[in-house]
Amino acid sequence: MLRTLCKSKIMGACITDKMLQYSGSIGIDKAIIEAADILPGEQVQVLNFSNGERFTTYVIEEKVRSGRMVLYGPAARKGEVGDELVILSYCLLETKEWHNFKQRFIALAKNNQLKAGK
């Protein structure tokens, strides 16, 4: 049986920019997506602590260590610059694979920088 599990969780992300005139997605600093084991184009669920919005989109890679967290296209209507986000990615695993599975939890510091030791 396949089960859907949380693969990666990015906590403490803050929106740095919005661009409505775009086809849609979320831009995330390359260093953050690499630490979280998320690929460009991968589907993510975005939770906005500031307004309660939840939406599904895909990731666009932003410049490494830029701290950029950008809502593009229709997603730009789901938050404001400075809003705090949690970003989740999921995977499908066979039940027997679960025992060897390790989730990635990434906490961000000020300016969307990886906390020391991450």
Q: What residues does 114 pair with on adjacent strands?
A: 108
CB contact at 8 A, 58 and 35: no
User: Residues 8, 22, 50, 58: which is the catalytic one?
Assistant: 58
User: Residues 22, 23, 25, 50: which is the catalytic one?
Assistant: 25
- Is 72 annotated as catalytic? no
- Is 25 annotated as catalytic? yes
Fill in the DSSP letter of residue 20. Answer: S
**CA-to-CA distance for 107 and 63, rounded, in angstroms?**
19
The residues that are catalytic are: 25, 58
